[in-house]
Structure 1
Amino acid sequence: MKNRHLIATLAAVLVMQFLQACGSAGGSGQPAATAPPPSVARALVLAPHDAARNWRSVAVSADGARQVAAEQGGSIFTSTDYGQTWTKRELSGVWSAVASSADGTRLVAAELAGLIYTSIDAGATWSARAVEGNWTSLASSSDGLKLVAADLGGFLYTSNDGGISWSARDEARDWMSVASSADGTRLVAAVTSLGQLYTSDDAGLTWVPRESATGWYSVASASDGKQLAAVDSAGTLHLSGDYGVTWRATLSGEGWTSVAMTADGSRLVALAESGSLYSSTDSGATWGTQASGLGWTSVASSADGSLLVAAASGDKIYTLTREQ
């Protein structure tokens, strides 16, 4: 029964993404957000790395030096030189998500329909954990000990010991994305398929429903958990400055795939299905945009935003820096 529900949910998500790409996903009944004026921030410089693969998810250490990337239907890759070179790890699967501790030594990776794996040596070796699910997203505290995982059609799961043991939280929902504060106590989770946003201030023990929409795709959090960002299936990017209690729409008209922010929440980047990159250096007050022609799937930011890493399906991994 769960498998039929999962297939139906994935089909609905794919249909919604198709409609977004065609510019027809605006049937939420909510007023459209007015795009802020263009930002005067310097453009992002894209540098390609490694080979063309079906990249699904990326994560980065606080200083940007250590990076991890997951290839859907392939391997896990790691970098220790700011994304310049990549090492293939002997771990294969249908990967859906990766997350990293602040120093990049503790990593966690999840399969779309399989297990969660953890590493305590920057990806050199991995341990399979006894949790199986249809994983869509992972988030980690800065020390890599507090983890949260989203199971599509299942529960949210949290771990306080670096992924050795896990506890099911809240209710079975179509969880799509999760994000965490640096200390792992404040969490935000997104539900797709006509779902809501949920927040927790006790490391996932209890959850409070927040903003509702037609469904949500990606969330991001600042280190204190106060500044949050979320993109919905109607094509709108939302921001919160009060731990998710209230939200405001800031950008609309795109089919978003991923959003990331810096530790202080001042710098944000959002990737669109159209290949466009949107970036802000003033907490989302103004935005700059640039085209790339790439099929973006995931983006992650160093703590200060000086380096971003982004994944493109059927293409390469890209590091993004601002023009000097």
Structure 2
Amino acid sequence: MFSYRHAFHAGNHADVLKHLTLIATLRHLMQKDAGITLIDTHAGAGLYRLDGDYTETGGEAKDGVVKLMAALRPAGQEPAAAAPAIDDYLDVIASYNPSGTLRVYPGSPFVIHHLMRAESRDRLKLFELHPTDSRTLSANIAQLEAGRQIAVAREDGFEGVKPLLPPPPSSTGSKRALVLMDPSYEIKSDYGKVSACIQECMRRFPTGTFLVWYPVIPRPEAHDLPRRLKTLSNQAQRPWLHATLAIGQDPTHGPDDRPGLTASGMFVVNPPHTLKPVLAEALPQLLLHLGRGRGKSQALESGGG
């Protein structure tokens, strides 16, 4: 069960969609001074070298953040016009690459840390079960010298998140939490675990913001997951938002070549009211710059509440 390593996929189009959505959500939530409990159930290693052995093997960043950065932030030229959410995402990525050369990609833990506020006493809890990635994550987080602001646990995030909800009250007495759930889906049971965990999280803390990333692949469980999440949200009378991005097939691939992941989705329970218009502006631009060949598309829908 430990064969999956996110380093193979760091910075790909799915990471672009996931992290852009995460940043836009956090930006809104952090407009209020009250602290937030932030939870990443499948944190990975935290930081990834885009010129490392793992990423070079798959080269998936070339069809994701590298392609987007080249289109909108060409070296030695003025940045091109882009949706504010895309600019914000690229600013976060650029902050980890001060030389101007794209060598490092921040995973979700470091994206979240970049936006955390010490004065509001935001807290981040990271779960990672993979033995190697957990050790790497702990070492990477230690370099931040964040103290008690960030905690790392080598534990199953599906189980570890539950005792953290409802979160402790902030200094103002309010309770606020954001949970990011993006397992590898390496085994089919992950799909059922996601929906069951979200259901339990909503039961424990109905007003929390829950973000779920999932791959769009020809597997019944993958197509059923967003439908299940919609049903759970509607039954709980909670608003939801569902965004998908498909970059299409690589036209240079032959009929016998494995296409790799070409599409993914983000499902958000209790999204900020600003998130839909933000993504409605950003998604068509992502498709413009990342789309290729047949099958490219983007979609955005919302409901519930």
TM superposition score normalised by structure 2:
0.34
TM superposition score normalised by structure 1:
0.33
Return the structure number with greater helix share: 2
Return the structure number with greater strand share: 1
The higher relative CO (CA closer than 8 Å, separation ≥ 6) is in 2
